[in-house]
Amino acid sequence: TIPQGEYGAGTMTVWDTGTYETEKWRADEVIFRAHGAPGGAMDDVRFALIRTAGDGEKSQWLLHRMKDAAAGQAGSRRSVGSTGRSRAQARPAREDAGNAAGTAPMLATMSTPGLAAGAISRWGGEPWVEMKWDGIRAVGIWDGTTLTLRARSGNDMTATYPDLQDAALGEAPCVVDGEIVALDENGRPSFALLQKRMNLANSAEIVREAARTPVKYYLFDLLQIDGQDATALSLRDRRALLERLADGAGERVTVPPVFDDLDATLDAARGADLEGVVVKNPGSRYRPGERSPDWLKIKLTRTQDVVIGGIRPGQGGRSGAIGSLLVGIPGESGLQYAGRVGTGFTDAALATLARLLAPLGIDENPFADVPAADARDAIWVKPELVGEVEFAEFTPGGILRHARWRGLRPDRSPDTVVREGTS
């Protein structure tokens, strides 16, 4: 037992004993192979000790279990150490890993190119620019065998994306942050394609659509590795560890590049019709669940999450169907009305909305304030579904001008919806 007040205080358990051999010895990295006792918990395993950036006490050493084919085969045996517990029992459960790191992702603050350039100067002048992928934010919890996916809202999305569950991130449990993306025939992210996957619940339909519309998991951050919290490390260090984890993970999982020129990256994003870019402070820590000024998003098109609170029946060609949605944004006095959305729908989207909204009908208006003209003939619904719209601007009264429907956001909950700032 290590005494209280000392580093690592608490009860220590010896899982195995044996020998080791050094493969690499550098000032910032040590790789060694550990050989456990016959029948022990460890078998034959390779480890890497990685020194993070920083001077003095700011520098840390992290222990990472490396992916190794030979070790993996040897480790397939169920072995019991001196404690009587198996290696599987010794490994943290995936739920424990997720709870320890916190599955609520860190959020970016809306910004402009000028403000972002000023922030880069304050951060030391080292630009760190990533593309903003038009997909679904997902925290991945890897237990060494299976990947569990959690949405921004905390909902489990694993069953919706069975093609990602066996993404190999090594033998060590870890928690990662990234975006699930569907690519079109030109290799560009397509939110419209992703909509075909997002709202499915039937397992047979999920499997069929997974074959027709494959997705990729773009990783951009690391919250935990092998039971160790990584959120206090700098983004620069977390990224280095993440790239090692993703190496060999297969074509479904990738770590997109980081760029060092804000203007050039914005031009490239604009030319590829991407959503925008995210500028990050390379020395910042990860703050789960917080909207941080260390991450600045610059959108090339204005989008806004909205909560659906009502339906206007369709007329003419849409008679008997949804004509428009009445949407709002939560505020201090309740759900603030943000206008009607009547364009951008496909027939499939209208059918999905009708199916999901039908059981949510209520008698009472859920909005704090709705103009009488918009409320006329409205069918009110419980404000539980979140969608995303593209729009031109907000009016002085907070109404979305030229709002166009982009799709449902089942990965988000109404209490996470906020009014976006100026982009």
Sorted by sequence, the CB contacts under 8 Å of residue 156 that are 6+ apart come out as 148, 149, 150
Number of helical (H) and strand (E) elements in the chain, helices listed first: 10, 22
Residue bearing tokens 């103009």: 371
Distances (CA, A) of 65 to 40, 48, 170, 327, 361: 17, 6, 8, 49, 52
The Cα–Cα gap between 375 and 386 comes to: 20
Tokens describing residue 191: 């939110």
Tokens describing residue 114: 């000028």
CB 64 within 8 A of CB 50: yes
Which listed residue (24, 58, 67, 132) is catalytic?
Answer: 132
380 three-class SS: strand
Please report the DSSP string for 319-339 in residue order: TTSEEEEEEEEEETTEEEEEE
Distances (CA, A) of 57 to 8, 207, 323, 335: 16, 50, 62, 48
Burial of 398 (0-12, 13-18, 19+ CB in 10 A): middle
Active site residue 24: no
Number of C-beta neighbours around residue 69 at 10 A: 8
194 three-class SS: helix
What's the farthest any 2 CA atoms get from each other in the chain? Answer: 79
Instruction: Name the residues annotated as catalytic.
Output: 132
